[in-house]
Amino acid sequence: MTDVILTLNAGSSSLKAGLYALENQRAGELLARFHLSAIGPDAALAITIGDKSEHRIVDAKDSDAAWPVLLEVITSALAGKTLRAVGHRVVHGGADYAAPIIVSETIRAQLETLTPLAPLHEPYNLAGIDYAGARWPDALQIACFDTGFHRSQPAKAQRFALPHRYFDQGVLRYGFHGLSYEFIASQMSSVMDGHPAERVIIAHLGSGVSMCALRDGVSVATTMGFTALAGLPMSTRCGDIDPGVLLYLQEVEGMSAADLAHLLHKESGLKGLSGMTGDMRALETSEKPRAKEAVEYFVYRCQREIGSLAAALGGLDAVIFTAGIGENSPSVRAQIANGLEWLGAKLDPERNAEGGPKISQPTSRVTLWSIRTDEEAMLAKHAANCLARETST
């Protein structure tokens, strides 16, 4: 029997899973991938096992209907294998959890209390723990937190200018996308091969968007905050907003907390600006002026945040683009990079069009990169490490 590790990355509209071989107590080869997307009556299920891929349309009207469908195909792929651990992406670890941890009933209950801080993510992450725990009771369930990577930040980077008691009760800038930043940080020395990397900004530009300033590979500042609404404009999330706007909308428009949550999470960002869609690829190919304006606004905010994070770092050696937009859109990378010449960054248009990884000119003082992120590989690595620690005690 081959020992394996499963990774689960669960959201409201998609479930992603990966099956990894466990070799010498480490996560090894990726054996299979499963992606259930567009959860609804005609959900899309993609299964890749080895070099064979299969696509099916399945009926999964909501995420409770989607889980059994996903678990069934994973169970088939597990034939002849022993599942030892499941690594779950859990968006919020709050003030108490940073390092990956084996989920007990007590920890599961504590994580549930963080749901109001990440209403779009935490319930789905916890459902994954419940479903996988019930299906594979002998496997360890391991939570890996997106907030964990940022707990290294100095207190001033984590504070809001509120009375101290709020910080003490956990109202602070947590930051997110930590698994992605950790993966990119783990790749920097091999990919950047001798280029200075003491002061680096990683731009995770996907449906969710954030940036992280790293000094010597450690997070010192990030754009997201208490929740994953803060910082840069995203697909449908607003990013930074004057808190006075929220007071205005409550007082003058009579909006409730639920109305505000819907507006800020679902109707804002690129979708709100364009009035069309939050999908960058669709905006880039649209001729509509509002689509162009939305992309320009996105680029402008990215440039401003890079300036702010470079100030937090006291200088800059490199900028790394990653995630759906950062890896796949030479045009957005070029528009952002063209505003960074004052920092000493010179884009190489040809290398950028080819996709990198290095996309700056040889004479560029600040180097520019496009590096593919892999949050699943990070989950597998953490799950294998937790399993090794547990079995050695």
**Annotated active-site positions, please?**
146
- Binders of ligand ADP among residues 78 to 117 (CB under 6 A) are none
Which residue in 61, 281, 365, 389 binds ligand ADP (CB under 6 A)?
A: 281
* Residue 274 sits in the site that holds ligand ADP (CB under 6 A): no
> What are the structure tokens assigned to 103, written together?
């989920």
Distance of closest approach, residue 279 Cβ to ligand ADP, in angstroms: 4
The one segment of 139-147, 182-190, 247-255, 324-332 that binds ligand ADP by CB under 6 A = 324-332
- x-marked contacts with ligand ADP along 234-253 as a string, rule CB under 6 A: -x------------------
* Residue 208 sits in the site that holds ligand ADP (CB under 6 A): yes
User: What whole-number distance in Å separates Cα of residue 371 and Cα of residue 349?
Assistant: 16
User: What whole-number distance in Å separates Cα of residue 34 and Cα of residue 20?
Assistant: 12
DSSP state letter for 100: -
DSSP 294-356: HHHHHHHHHHHHHHHHHHHHTS-SEEEEEHHHHHH-HHHHHHHHTT-GGGTB-B-HHHHHHT-
> What are the structure tokens assigned to 161, written together?
């200018």
Which residue in 32, 188, 203, 280 binds ligand ADP (CB under 6 A)?
A: 280
The one segment of 41-49, 108-116, 183-191, 319-327 that binds ligand ADP by CB under 6 A = 319-327
Distance of closest approach, residue 206 Cβ to ligand ADP, in angstroms: 3
Residue found under tokens 């899973």: 17
User: What whole-number distance in Å separates Cα of residue 134 and Cα of residue 115?
Assistant: 21
| Site size for ligand ADP (CB under 6 A) | 13
CB 200 within 8 A of CB 188: yes
Beta bridge partners of 44: 37, 57
Q: Where are the alpha helices (DSSP H) in the chain?
A: 63-77, 105-112, 122-135, 155-158, 164-168, 178-192, 243-251, 257-266, 269-274, 280-285, 289-313, 323-328, 330-337, 349-354, 375-392
DSSP state letter for 366: B
Which residue in 263, 284, 308, 361 binds ligand ADP (CB under 6 A)?
A: 284
- Burial (Cβ within 10 Å: 0-12, 13-18, ≥19) of residue 29: exposed
The one segment of 22-30, 133-141, 203-211, 250-258 that binds ligand ADP by CB under 6 A = 203-211
The one segment of 166-174, 280-288, 313-321, 360-368 that binds ligand ADP by CB under 6 A = 280-288
Distance of closest approach, residue 324 Cβ to ligand ADP, in angstroms: 2
* Residue 36 sits in the site that holds ligand ADP (CB under 6 A): no
Residue 55 or 281: the one with the smaller Cβ distance to ligand ADP is 281
* Residue 125 sits in the site that holds ligand ADP (CB under 6 A): no
* Residue 329 sits in the site that holds ligand ADP (CB under 6 A): yes
Distance of closest approach, residue 270 Cβ to ligand ADP, in angstroms: 7
Residue 158 or 322: the one with the smaller Cβ distance to ligand ADP is 322
* Residue 328 sits in the site that holds ligand ADP (CB under 6 A): yes
CA distances from 286 to 222, 280, 281 (A): 31, 10, 9
Binding residues for ligand ADP, per CB under 6 A? Answer: 206-208, 235, 279-281, 284, 323-325, 328-329
